[in-house]
Amino acid sequence: MSKGGTSKRAAEDINKQQKKIKNIDEVLKLVKKLAEQGRKNTTAERSLAELDLAHSVREVVDKDADAVLDEIEATMLEVAQSILAGNGYSFDIPSRAKGNQLYVPELDRIVLKDTVSKRPFASSQACRKTAITTRILGLVHELCNKQINVTKRDLFYTDVKLFEDQRESDAVLDDLSCMLGCTRSSLHVVASEKGVVVGRLTFTEDGDHIDCRRMGVGGKAIPPNISKVSNIASDALFILLVEKDAAFMRLAEDRFYNDYPSIIITAKGQPDVATRLFLRKLKLSLKIPVLALVDSDPYGLKILSVYMKGSMNMSYDSSNLTTPDIKWLGVRPSDLDRFNIPAQCRLAMTDEDLKTGRKLLEEDFIKANPAWVAELELMLKKKEKAEIQALSSFGFQYLSQVYLPLKLQEGDWI
């Protein structure tokens, strides 16, 4: 078909889709029903003790500065006593290896099995990492004493020659959270601001009133210290979790949340801790559904799974970082044909994409959702992927004016 013929067909498709969209009340009918079901569901998440896992799984809790100081001082006292006894010293570090991760269907999230390994200073292989662990324990002790917060980047620059790479200091921070039994924020170390939010949401941040409808196209940066967020209020019917910054900005500029009462959040790619904590806090406070808009590729699904089930790196804190029951709204593999995404906007999956997709099919949390399995199998069968931006081939506002309204109207989420 000629280029002109293709354009004409696309225009006809868009016209048909636009005619299907009813008034806003009709579009939102199924979303309202989903929100009502969520509010009526008062079932509390089962505890590790109820599942007889309390003694075999390691989970952390928020601790105040004094409690963290006590843990650090008790640890270093043991170190000093061991050195004075002529035994050298080591730390008992919980293992966060892949084999130590456990998906618990009853909790619908990944947890960390309580297995520890020694990190001895006398070992040539572990000596440097033990030194880094000792150094960071000292820095965290100072932060808790002074009651101040720093970013992970700030922490790295306190001893660049020892740490060498920020990934080293970041990994040890997670080790210490696990070892001390506290959340990473309890260590007074936070990540730099990354995620943003816009829409029908107000809250108080460290005493300041924030109205997310007045934050412009860029949105409000999600605070790195979520404990300072309070007085959350909203008349939104749902939270729209968006993978990409470009899609977020399109929806923000179009004021999508005015016609379709919503809160729009993005972490601009890989989910950071603050965005994950913030999303969970909103979900628990407002009791409204979360709908996800991610790329139609294995990595979009991996990003969604981190929000829902947790990550291996931080499985020890999955009770605070996960938001179960997020609905996958789009862009799903079945949408590519359903919405006639043009061939030039579809990308062939690479060998690495296919490998990642097959690995996802083996994950227990994917197997637990037959609809997800069907979508992933379709993706692997067709060997095609597409980004959210592929929808812009029909017009820059197609996402906000046609695609999302149709998906909401039809309740097309899984």
What stretch of H or E contains 136? helix 127-146
The answer to whether the annotation marks 78 as part of a ligand binding site is no
What stretch of H or E contains 220? strand 220-221
Please say if 157 is a catalytic residue: yes
Q: Which entry of 157, 260, 299, 398 is annotated as an active-site residue?
A: 157
Which residue in 79, 53, 75 sits closest to 178, CA to CA?
Answer: 75
Provide the whole-model pTM. 0.90
pLDDT tens per residue across all 414 residues of the chain: 455 555 677 677 788 888 889 889 999 999 999 999 888 877 778 888 889 898 899 999 999 999 999 999 999 999 999 999 999 999 999 999 988 999 999 999 999 999 999 999 988 888 999 999 999 999 999 999 999 999 999 999 999 999 999 999 999 999 999 999 999 999 999 988 899 999 999 999 989 999 999 998 999 999 998 989 999 999 999 999 999 999 999 999 999 999 999 999 999 999 999 999 999 999 999 999 999 999 999 999 999 999 999 998 899 999 999 998 899 999 999 999 999 999 999 999 999 999 999 999 999 889 989 999 999 999 999 999 999 999 999 999 999 999 999 999 999 999
Please determine whether the domains at 3-43+191-410 and 57-190 fall in the same fold group of CATH.
no
Question: Which pLDDT score, from 0 to 100, does residue 1 have?
Answer: 47
Q: Structural domain boundaries of the chain?
A: 3-43+191-410, 57-190
Find how far residue 306's CA is from the centre of its chain: 5
3-43+191-410 adopts what CATH topology?
A: Dna Topoisomerase Vi A Subunit; Chain: A, domain 2 (3.40.1360)
What stretch of H or E contains 110? strand 109-113
- One CATH from 1.10.10.10, 2.30.110.10, 3.40.462.40, 3.30.70.890 for 57-190: 1.10.10.10
The answer to whether the annotation marks 243 as part of a ligand binding site is yes
Question: Which pLDDT score, from 0 to 100, does residue 134 have?
Answer: 96
What is the Cα–Cα distance from 336 to 344, expressed in whole angstroms? 12
Using CB atoms within 10 A of its CB, is residue 3 exposed (0-12), middle (13-18) or buried (19+)? exposed
CB 318 within 8 A of CB 271: no
